[in-house]
Amino acid sequence: MNLALFDLDNTLLSGDSDFEWAQFLIGKGVLDREVHEARNIEFFEQYKAGTLDIHAFLDFQLAPLSRHSRAELDAWHDEFLATRIRPLISAAARALVRQHADAGHLLAIVTATNSFVTGPIAREFNIPHLIATIPAQEAGRFTGQPRGTPSFREGKVERVDAWLESLGLWLGSFEQSWFYSDSLNDLPLLEKVTHPVAVDADRTLAQVAAQRGWSQLSLRV
């Protein structure tokens, strides 16, 4: 058995689900545009630059979940998936996932974006496993805080190792392993697999990939 891991934002998606979710809530009037839009853009730029404070970002990102019922959030997400996310999924991205699935590989999305936002997107791709930042819940209502290690930078390696351990496996169990990502933030996990692949990569990752002879490809819409 082989292993295929996929980053989500700006990799399988031609955009960022985190950023789009906040913009979607702003567009619906759930979040105040003047207060949240500039902050959303600021965090997005920090992520791209590799300077994001993940805990400060999660305070910003998860707080809106705690102010609304799960039923209301789920209804909004259905609309979000249809209007904001499906247009960001290219035929090439679906074909790549299908190629690994048809080969019988173990598939997982590994993303820093929280599992409420990304769970339905993983199901849209028919990817059975999701390693994402976990928004804590109490009695079915989000608390606004993360649970456990955020799936970000070195945290992705920790979370992947723990997931495989729960299956009685480790990265060395696989003859071949792939991780597809666009971001310099994912270098720690890219360095752990046998086939690191830079997808529509940012400048830093593209340079590293070129220097190390890693594969590069585009999945853009």
Residue 110: closest CA among 74, 155, 174: 155
Q: What percent helix, strand, coil does the chain show, rounded to 5?
A: 55, 20, 25
Q: What per-residue confidence (pLDDT) applies to 52?
A: 80
The verdict on whether 202 is a catalytic residue reads: no
HSE-CB of 23 using CA atoms within 13 angstroms: 14
Among the listed residues 9, 18, 186, 200, the single catalytic one is 9
- The Cβ of residue 112 has, within 10 Å, a number of other Cβ atoms equal to 27
27-47 pLDDT per residue, tens: 999 888 877 888 878 887 888
pLDDT value of residue 132: 97
Tally Cβ neighbours within 10 Å of residue 175. Answer: 9
Q: Is pLDDT at 53 greater than 90 in this prediction?
A: no
Q: What tokens appear for 111 in the block?
A: 């993303």
Q: Is-catalytic flag, 9?
A: yes
Q: Read off the pLDDT of residues 155-190 as tens digits, 9 standing for 90 and up.
A: 999 999 999 999 999 999 999 999 999 999 999 999
Q: How many domains does the chain have?
A: 1
The mean pLDDT of 1-24, rounded to a whole number, is 95
CA 45 to chain centre: 16
* pLDDT at position 50: 81
Q: In terms of DSSP H, where are the helices of 14-169?
A: 17-27, 33-49, 54-66, 70-80, 91-102, 115-124, 154-166
pLDDT per position as a tens digit, 72-105? 999 999 999 999 999 999 999 999 999 999 999 9
d(CA 85, CA 80): 7
Q: Are 88 and 13 in contact (CB under 8 A)?
A: yes
Cα 59 from chain centroid (whole Å): 17
Q: Is the pLDDT of residue 221 over 70?
A: no
pLDDT in tens, 104-142: 999 999 999 999 999 999 999 999 999 999 999 999 899
Task: For residue 132, give the 3-state DSSP assignment.
Answer: strand
Domain holding 39, by residue range, is: 3-217
DSSP count for the chain of H helices, then E strands: 9, 7
The pTM score is 0.93
pLDDT at 136: 95
pLDDT category at 23 given cuts 50, 70, 90 is very high
Write the CATH number for 155: 3.40.50.1000
Q: How far apart are CA 132 and CA 116, in angstroms?
A: 9
